[in-house]
């Protein structure tokens, strides 16, 4: 008995210590970096200590009784036959109930606090979960990007979470995330998708992304920086690879980013390798799923259909659910065989690309700044 009880609080104490000393991994729910995550932490911390106190009391009694009342030679084998004590038992029914009332009151007020729609200077963002990447739409700014959510510091961000954009099985799903960003920034037309969960622990709790429903989440960062997040609801083969970043910037930096993102892509100079790549892009398989704003085929703008919008690909730092840095080598590997890079990837190349095509496409993609 002794070892267990030494160990169990040991683990509990270690948890606290380790949590305090762990290198900041930017995905730590115990390290809130904004008011919404802070509210949760402020609620959790006292509850944790209450629980810890009860833990030590119960384990303490257990150890104490185990030592004090252990069988010893010579002691009479007939302990007092106590059948119970109603007063005591009613007491230890009511006392926990009172403690729980104390816990319930701040719990309920925080639930409603977090559920409130923010007012004032609020940034609206639609986040769409795909297997296995995140589409980020800014309806008011007419921006579509992927795997990176840029936000201004000190301002609440009202995130609408959707699993489906438009064209869902041919029937529009009742979804506040529609219509997507208006013309010029066509939203992804999304096929069937599954439940995901959007979680960036340092800025907010998690919220599921459920097909057919629109959920909301408010997050806010107090300081500029990068905060990592991850899909928390099991969503199939590459669930572990469905990550993302929140980039919090000063208002000026954010505005500059918005302006850059709103620009059309610039076609590479004719005759360059990149121009060949652009032709391959426009005449090949890519446009079945991917869009680039500013480019046209037969006079029509491209429409994204399940794949990330690539207009400013190189402005992002990562792809494949933000698990690979965007480098020449990684892009080449991806284009050579997406299935080998990501298990179950929806990106299927048929026929496979030749090395020349890959070289040209990568050269083109790397012009998309």
Partner 1 sequence: MASVSVPGETVRGGLLRRPRSTAGFWSWVTTVDHKRIGILYGATAFFFFLVGGVEALFIRLQLAQPDGKILSPSTYNEFFTMHGLTMIFLVVMPLSAAFFNYLIPLMIGARDVAFPRLNAFSCWLFLFAGLFIYSSFALGGAPNGGWFGYAPLSTVEPGNNMLFYSTGLLMAGIASTVSAVNLAVTIINMRAPGMTMFRMPVFIWMALVVQFLLAFSLPIITVGLFESLFDRRFGTHFFDPAAGGDPVLWQHLFWLFGHPEVYILILPAMGIVSEILPVFARKPLFGYQFVVFSGIAIGFIGFGVWAHHMFATGLGPVANTAFGISTMIIAIPTGVKIFNWLGTIWRGDLRFTTPMLFALGFIAQFVVGGLSGVTHAVVPADYQQTDTYYIVAHFHYVLFAGAIFGLFGGMYYWWPKIFGRMLNERVGKVQFWIMAVGANLTFGPMHILGLEGMPRRIQTYTPALGLGVWNLVVTIGAFTIAVSVLIFIGNAVASFRRPKDAPADPWDARTLEWTVPSPPPPHNFDEIPVVHALDDFWHRKYAETEEGTLVPVPAGGSGDPRSDDAHGSGHGIHLPSPSYYPVIAALGFPLIGYGVIFHWWMAVAGAVVVLAGLYGWAFEPAAE
Question: Which residues in the 136-195 window bind partner 1 by CB under 8 A?
Answer: 163-164, 168-171, 173, 192, 194-195
Q: How many CA atoms lie within 13 A of 86 on its CB side?
A: 0
DSSP 109-177: HHHHHHHSPP-SS-EEEEEEEETTEEEEEETTTTEEEESEEEEETTS-EEEEEES--B-GGGS----TT
Options 80-88, 150-158, 248-256, 309-317: segment touching partner 1 (CB under 8 A): 80-88
Number of residues that bind partner 1 (CB under 8 A): 106
State which residue, 32 or 277, has the beta carbon closest to partner 1: 32
Between β-strands 148-152 and 243-249, what pairing exists: parallel, antiparallel or unpaired? parallel
Phi-psi region at 287: left, alpha or beta (left = phi > 0; alpha = psi -120 to 50):
alpha
State which residue, 165 or 277, has the beta carbon closest to partner 1: 165
At closest approach, how far in Å is the CB of 246 from partner 1? 13
Residue 311 φ/ψ, nearest 5 degrees: -50, -45
From candidates 38, 103, 122, 181, binder to partner 1 by CB under 8 A: 103
At closest approach, how far in Å is the CB of 298 from partner 1? 30
Asked whether position 212 contacts partner 1 by CB under 8 A, the answer is yes
Q: Which two tokens stand for residue 175?
A: 């979804």
Q: Give the other-Cβ count within 10 Å of 362's Cβ.
A: 20
Distance CA 67, CA 305 (A): 69
Asked whether position 251 contacts partner 1 by CB under 8 A, the answer is no
Q: What is the largest CA-CA distance in the chain?
A: 101
State which residue, 182 or 325, has the beta carbon closest to partner 1: 325
N residues, the chain: 369
Asked whether position 264 contacts partner 1 by CB under 8 A, the answer is no
At closest approach, how far in Å is the CB of 269 from partner 1? 38
Are residues 173 and 212 in contact, defined by beta-carbon separation less than 8 angstroms? yes
Asked whether position 325 contacts partner 1 by CB under 8 A, the answer is no
DSSP 8-62: HHHHHHHHHHHHHHS---S--TTS--SHHHHHHHHHHHHHHHHHHHHHHHHHHHH
The pattern of x and - marking residues 60 through 79 that bind partner 1 according to CB under 8 A reads: -xx--xx--xxx---xxxxx
Q: Which two tokens stand for residue 149?
A: 């959510």
Options 140-148, 238-246, 307-315, 355-363: segment touching partner 1 (CB under 8 A): 238-246
Residue 318 φ/ψ, nearest 5 degrees: -150, 160
State which residue, 53 or 297, has the beta carbon closest to partner 1: 53
Residue 257 exposed, middle or buried by CB count within 10 Å (0-12, 13-18, 19+): buried
Asked whether position 25 contacts partner 1 by CB under 8 A, the answer is yes
Asked whether position 239 contacts partner 1 by CB under 8 A, the answer is yes
From candidates 230, 249, 276, 309, binder to partner 1 by CB under 8 A: 230
At closest approach, how far in Å is the CB of 127 from partner 1? 13
At closest approach, how far in Å is the CB of 111 from partner 1? 5
Options 141-149, 152-160, 203-211, 360-368: segment touching partner 1 (CB under 8 A): 203-211
State which residue, 64 or 314, has the beta carbon closest to partner 1: 64
The pattern of x and - marking residues 108 through 137 that bind partner 1 according to CB under 8 A reads: x-xxx-xx----------------------
């Amino acid at each position: 008995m002794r070892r267990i009880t030494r160990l169990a609080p040991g683990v509990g104490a270690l948890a606290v210590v380790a949590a305090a000393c762990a290198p900041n991994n930017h995905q730590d729910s115990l390290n809130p970096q904004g008011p919404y995550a802070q509210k949760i932490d402020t609620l959790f911390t006292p509850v944790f200590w209450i629980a810890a106190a009860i833990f030590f009391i119960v384990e303490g009694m257990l150890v104490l009784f185990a030592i004090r009342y252990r069988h010893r030679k010579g002691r009479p084998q007939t302990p007092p036959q106590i059948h119970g004590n109603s007063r005591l038992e009613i007491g230890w029914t009511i006392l926990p109930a009172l403690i729980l009332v104390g816990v319930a009151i701040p719990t309920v007020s925080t639930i409603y606090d977090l559920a409130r729609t923010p007012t004032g200077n609020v940034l609206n963002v639609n986040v769409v979960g795909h297997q296995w990447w995140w589409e980020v739409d800014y309806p008011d700014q007419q921006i579509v990007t992927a795997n990176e959510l840029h936000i201004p510091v000190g301002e609440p961000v009202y995130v609408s979470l959707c699993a489906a954009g438009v064209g869902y099985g041919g029937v529009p799903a009742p979804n506040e995330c529609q219509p997507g960003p208006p013309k010029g920034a066509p939203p992804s037309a999304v096929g069937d998708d599954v439940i995901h969960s959007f979680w960036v622990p340092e800025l907010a709790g998690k919220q599921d992304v459920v097909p057919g429903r629109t959920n909301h989440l408010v997050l806010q960062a107090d300081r500029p920086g990068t905060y990592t997040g991850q899909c928390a609801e099991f969503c199939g083969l590459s669930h572990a690879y469905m990550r993302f970043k929140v980039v919090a910037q000063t208002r000026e930096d954010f505005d500059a980013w918005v302006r850059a993102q709103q620009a059309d892509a610039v076609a590479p100079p004719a005759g360059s390798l990149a121009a060949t790549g652009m032709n391959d892009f426009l005449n090949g398989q890519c446009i079945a799923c991917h869009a680039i704003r500013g480019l046209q085929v037969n006079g029509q703008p491209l429409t994204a259909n399940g794949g990330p919008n690539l207009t400013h690909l190189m402005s992002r730092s990562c792809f494949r659910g933000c698990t690979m840095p965007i480098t020449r080598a990684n892009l080449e590997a991806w284009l050579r065989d997406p299935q080998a890079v990501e298990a179950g990837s929806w990106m299927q190349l048929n026929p496979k690309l030749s090395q020349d095509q890959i070289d040209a496409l990568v050269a083109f993609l790397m012009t998309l700044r």
